[in-house]
Amino acid sequence: MKVKNLIQERDACTAPTVTDSSKGSDDQHHQRIAAAAFALYEQRGRHDGHDLDDWLAAEQQILLIDVSKPFGVVQGTNREARLQRENARLRRLVGELILELKNDEEVWA
C-alpha cells in the first residue's frame, strides 16, 4: 500500500458516508485501522516502504483495544461479585461474633 493510498484512506475516514448497519461496522473497523496506520506512518517521519508493517501494527492495536474492552467489563463484574460474596461472608461472621458476645454476657451476668 503506497503512501498515497494511506492518505486516501485517511481522507475516506473523515468523509461522511452512508452505509447500511451490517456494512457500517466493517467500514468503521477498516477506517480505524487506516487512521492508526497513517498515524504510525507520520510518527516514522513519513518514510515510505513500511505500509504493510504499519497496517499490520495498526490492525493489532485496534484488535487489542476491541478485545480488552469486553474483557475489562467481565473482570469488573467478576470483581464486584467477589466483593459482594466477601461482604456477605463478613456480615455473617460479625453476626456470629455478636451472638457469641451476647451469650458470654448472659453467662457472666
pLDDT in tens, 6-19: 556 655 655 544 44
Residue 34 has a CB neighbour count (10 Å cut-off) of 25
Using N-to-C axis directions, what is the helix angle for 21-43 and 51-108, rounded to 10°?
110
Boundaries of domain holding 7: 3-108
For 32, the grid coordinates are 480505524
What total of structural domains would you count in the chain? 1
User: Is the pLDDT reported for residue 2 higher than 60?
Assistant: no
DSSP run (H or E) holding 14? helix 3-14
How is residue 90 annotated by DSSP?
A: H
18-58 pLDDT tens trace: 444 445 577 888 898 999 899 989 988 988 888 888 888 88
User: Is the pLDDT reported for residue 97 higher than 70?
Assistant: yes
d(CA 79, CA 87): 12
